[in-house]
Chain A
């Protein structure tokens, strides 16, 4: 039984379709991510679920209840904004207590205290937002959204304003809290790595459509089209007729071929080892090499085609620019789209 249902939702701004007939269902406790570039409609979809945007057609249901025409305050959803949207005139305690006060709930103090404990902000109750770091502000925003016990938690790029380290630790913590409360969560991001680490399920969006949905592994290993392939994993994508020339094979079917940079292997000229039944072997030259910590990224040219190869950074095993090499491409790692 699905917990959140988005049923054929459409939204237009003037003549531009922002959400095109979108249907999504989520189970209770699921962590779902809407992934896409800016302008793909992911934030609009999230705001529609929150009731901050009207939809032109379709229905949105939470826990079996149609909320399409309810105002935001009646929807029982919690939301964390990209820029936190903390109330600057209230301290941490009052920010978190705000929703409870509006709903005239009892035991505000103990509920807020429990929340503050959970997001690890004990001792900061009296601080005002401008006295907190970005990460701390984000925790307050999260606590404020969660304390009213919403049915669904909506996160609108909540980590994108933070620097890399804090971001990583907050990702983990967010995930821990989400599991602990078993709260259905919809997370919006443009960062595929973040989506991969956090999600149970990813919905890749492009131009108002959901182009692919599935588990992170499914999305990463079997992108359904070149858009997803490009977006998710820096895939090398070739038109099929150029690829046929490259590997000198005429039997291949499909329009395009995609393979990830890390499935390729580079060998010095003359070294024989790979099975040619299962691999293609190409000759090429290193055009450029750059190092991103543990990964070496080569730009390799073979017969006027260039592509990326990622290799783990083994000590001393770097091919210099201009070196002639063999490129081994496993046939089974190629996706024919």
Chain B
């Protein structure tokens, strides 16, 4: 007995590095941020003023609003595109399906700084398409400005779509062919199958994917940073400039905004988890 106990202590010691890393780089920073968000700018006085400042400030509320709007719009458009595209993909042969998924998979890795750069050379002020269209006399892009929120949404959608397709595609596999057959044997039309069976089965996965995309866009930093620098008022860009810019450091305020962002993200992911529970329950 004693021998076994001694061995356990030895094993516990092997867990120490992990515990240190988790405390030092995961729990510690989170706790520090939460704590810091309840201090005044001087770092001494305990207060909830930082949160009040955010909610009273038109500027910061606008940042939150912009982030929410961009995330919502890009998520909605991407999910709708993906629902249709993934369905179309299932219509091809298995081999082509695999190829297509590989392409989505590969392009899903194209994001952040390189992606923004690509868009700049294609659609930026001196972008290839911009110049080409101008030369061809097409006005479609005359009003278009990549460095604005329409530009941001365009780029966000680009990196959201492959992800959305990869997340939604598997749930089409969950719709069994027999269901369709059973439905038509029972006298259902194609429309009534999708209306009564298909969509309800897909719904949790669609909603779940939506919340992941939403969270993904809320937390995105590199893409926006590369595209609009600090010229555009976004939550993630504001947080960055409050804690790590050369001017006007306000770490306490930044912490409070960080907490708000984290809460939003965790809320979205929690929501997704609830949806997935439902899927699993339904399918088993």
A residues neighboring B (CB under 8 Å): 54, 69, 71
Contact = CB atoms under 8 A, between A and B. Distances in A.
Nearest to B1: A69
Interface of B: 1, 3-4
A264 B3 CA distance: 59
6 contacts: A54-B1, A54-B4, A69-B1, A69-B3, A69-B4, A71-B3
A7 B1 CA distance: 17
Contacts of B1: 54, 69
A54 B1 CA distance: 8
A54 B3 CA distance: 12
A71 B5 CA distance: 12
A54 B5 CA distance: 11
Nearest to A68: B1
Nearest to A56: B1
Contacts of B3: 69, 71
B265 to A, nearest CB: 37
A123 B214 CA distance: 59
Nearest to B4: A54
Contacts of A54: 1, 4
A221 to B, nearest CB: 43
A69 B4 CA distance: 8
Nearest to B3: A69
A69 to B, nearest CB: 6
Report the 5 A-B pairs with minimum CB-CB distance, sorted nearest first: A69-B1, A54-B4, A69-B3, A54-B1, A71-B3
A69 B1 CA distance: 6
A151 B3 CA distance: 24
Contacts of B4: 54, 69
B19 to A, nearest CB: 25
A69 B7 CA distance: 13
Contacts of A71: 3
B188 to A, nearest CB: 39
Nearest to A69: B1
A259 B1 CA distance: 48
A127 B174 CA distance: 37
